[in-house]
Copies of this chain bind each other. A is one copy, B any other.
Amino acid sequence: MNAGRTARERARVELTQEITDAARRQLAEVGAEALSLRAVARELGMVSSALYRYFPSRDDLLTALIVDAYDALGDAAAEADRQAGRHPTRRWRAVSAGVRDWAREHRYEYALIYGSPVPGYQAPQQTISSAVRVPAVIGGLLAAAWQEAGPAMTAVAGTGPLPGRLAEQTGIVGAAIAPSVPGAGLPAPVVARALVAWTQLFGMISFELFGQFVGSADPADDFFGYAVDQLADLLGLPD
């Protein structure tokens, strides 16, 4: 480990890590907009200008946090999926709950990636491959379910044509899933329903964290479980 690296290189890697860690802690305290380079530097006992050796600007530090957050959430989803065994419905429930739990434990990181975009900030290409990890986990479990019980799933999803460009869009997504799960792409109607499940999942989590459920589904645990089961039905997953 660290073979062939100079002390300088090792120090650089470690300090870059320490900076993002400190920034994450600050994020958890004050939120994304109030996150300041100077406060991060202060926490590390450095002078603020020193950070510019590691991140060329505040936006780049933000980008690193965004990528880290997507990755951490992706890890949480993948780990929940892994522990759930093989049954598709169990996997879907586990992934949903894993995503929600992560979001509740990291509300500011969640808000950073799924809340209002920071004005003036443009997410670079770099974030996309990390952003796609939760959808990929969902796609993976659906592809496995499809391999086991394809016809039953289509029966539920129906075979009617999808409206307008949705057929094309879901086709592309289905094809994109194929390489990661040997031998199985997903048909467009299943992908369309997966998109519904995906938006519903994050819609509920955002409503819960951002306070929209006050006065109705608050606390949201039971509603969340109920909706996840509804979505399992919608997806044609076995009981």
- Stretch from A1-9, A29-37, A87-95, A142-150 contacting the other chain: A29-37
Interface of chain A residues 194 through 226 with chain B (CB within 8 A): 195-196, 199-204, 206-207, 210-212, 214-219, 221-223, 225-226
A211-B117 in contact given A166-B222, A204-B203 (Cβ < 8 Å)? yes
Decide yes or no whether A47 CB sits under 8 A from chain B: no
Residue of chain B at shortest CB distance from A165: B222
Query: Beta-carbon contacts of A74-115 to B below 8 Å, as 1s and 0s?
Result: 000000000000000000000000000000000010011011
What secondary structure prevails in chain A residues at the interface with B? helix
Decide yes or no whether A178 CB sits under 8 A from chain B: no
How far in angstroms is the closest Cβ of chain B from A158?
10
A195-B223 in contact given A30-B119, A34-B119, A234-B230 (Cβ < 8 Å)? yes
Decide yes or no whether A65 CB sits under 8 A from chain B: no
Q: Can you list 26 A-B pairs, Cβ within 8 angstroms, ordered by A?
A: A30-B119, A31-B120, A116-B210, A117-B211, A128-B215, A135-B216, A166-B217, A166-B223, A169-B223, A170-B216, A172-B216, A173-B216, A192-B223, A192-B226, A195-B217, A195-B223, A196-B200, A199-B200, A200-B203, A201-B203, A202-B203, A202-B206, A202-B212, A203-B204, A203-B207, A234-B234
Q: Which residues of A contact B (CB under 8 A)?
A: 30-34, 108, 111-112, 114-120, 123, 128, 131-132, 135, 162-166, 169-170, 172-173, 192-193, 195-196, 199-204, 206-207, 210-212, 214-219, 221-223, 225-227, 230, 234
